[in-house]
Amino acid sequence: MLAAKERPDETITVCPAREITAPHAPDLALGIPRHWWPDPLVNVHAARIEEETLAWFRELGFGERSIWIVRTFAPADYAGMPFPLAAPRELLLLAKYLSLWLLWDDVDVEGRERTFPFCGPAVLEPSASGVTTLFGATWSALLRELATTMSPAWMTTLCEAMDTWSTAALKEARTSKQRRAGLARVSYEEALRSRIDTIGMAATGYLLEYARGIELPPDFHAHETSLALKTLSGKIVGFGNDIWSLGKDWASGYVNVILALREEHGLTMLEAVRRIIREHDEAIAEFDRLARALPSFGAAWDKHIATWVQDLRHASLGFTLWESRAPRYAAFKMLVNGTPIDPSFIVPTSLAPRAAAATASAYAPHP
């Protein structure tokens, strides 16, 4: 088996996207069924909440460097694509939440290996000893805002999910550092489990309830099918993340499912990418199969649960679309033997014009 960077049959380079003139590989396309595409594709209130989100960071004391980083997240798309039907008030809070989450991950978790104690008094008490940083104070303020709408029990479950995420993210950051130093190898299963845990869809499942102004019963969230749907959502979004961050992760040595798969099985990079795309599409099919198998949780809840499942589809696709065009991923692309790794989306023909108009990605119409 050849080591990851020792294959004589492929030349891998990473360069600025603006310098790429070669055509993309036509067979690299993610298949998305029609019922996964929302209408509208981007929340109609998205554009107006971006500047409000940036202003919020300024008001809280973040410097211009942090503001610039948040702007590269494209907050309008980052909230507006996963939450296409949220009302303006909820969308603004979600844009703040998602942008803070990603900035905190980049700066404090990955950069300084520092987390925030989501489970404890620091969550809702600005004077608590756990709030000792600007990020901590901002999380506390944002969670207090959420608590004006959501119940204490809901806040507890969200914070537990965030605490689980931060533990996994810190572990992944440390593993990546060891990998860069040549002190660790990551198997495909380890990379996949890490990506599912760190992509954040478990916590996002609760944010979907906030967006709709409802709290689903605990027995639904604890049900094995609900848990499996959240895991599959994490897999779908995680695959998209690692596909479009491939060039960045290759250059930085960060944990990536494609790189782990390639190294473990001696695949070419294109073979590994094609397999991840296939697994992405299989995860979507499995999600739909399990969604159809959900039991009844009572007449009072079944309609709300069906809405939540559809919202989870929209969020999974929305984050994937954002990954395909976000400046943090789009700036640099990997080329394998001169071919850019930048997959398109296979969408139903009737949706292709609307989808193409709303995103910067290339789409391949499909009957």
Query: Among residues 292, 188, 170, 267, which one has the least CA distance to residue 235?
Result: 188
Per-residue pLDDT, 363: 38
Which phi and psi (to 5°) does residue 333 adopt?
A: -130, 150
| Ranges of residues in the chain whose predicted pLDDT is under 50 | 1-4, 129, 360-367
> Burial, 313: exposed, middle or buried (Cβ in 10 Å; 0-12, 13-18, 19+)?
buried
Angle at 240 between CA 26 and CA 267, to 5 degrees: 65
Per-residue pLDDT, 20: 87
Query: Among residues 165, 164, 154, which one has the least CA distance to residue 209?
Result: 154
Per-residue pLDDT, 7: 66
Q: Any idea which residue has 């604890």 for tokens?
A: 222
Phi-psi region of 266 (alpha: psi -120 to 50; beta: other; left: phi over 0): left
Return d(Cα 208, Cα 225) in angstroms, integer: 17
Per-residue pLDDT, 117: 77
Q: For residue 86, what are its two tokens? A: 């949220």
Name beta bridge partners: 366: 348
pTM value is 0.92
Per-residue pLDDT, 99: 98
Q: For residue 87, what are its two tokens? A: 């009302």
Torsion angle of C-alpha atoms 281, 287, 289, 292, degrees rounded to 10:
-150
Name beta bridge partners: 29: 344
Ranges of beta strands (E only) in the chain are: 12-16, 29-31, 332-336, 339-340, 344-348, 363-366
Return d(Cα 272, Cα 261) in angstroms, integer: 6
**Amino acid present at 99:** S
**Residue 342 near residue 323 (C-beta atoms within 8 A):** no
Return d(Cα 321, Cα 360) in angstroms, integer: 9
Q: For residue 362, what are its two tokens? A: 């290339």
Tell me the CB-side half-sphere exposure of residue 157, using CA atoms within 13 A: 19
**Whole-number Cα distances in Å, 35 to 107, 242, 252, 314:** 37, 24, 37, 9
Per-residue pLDDT, 218: 95
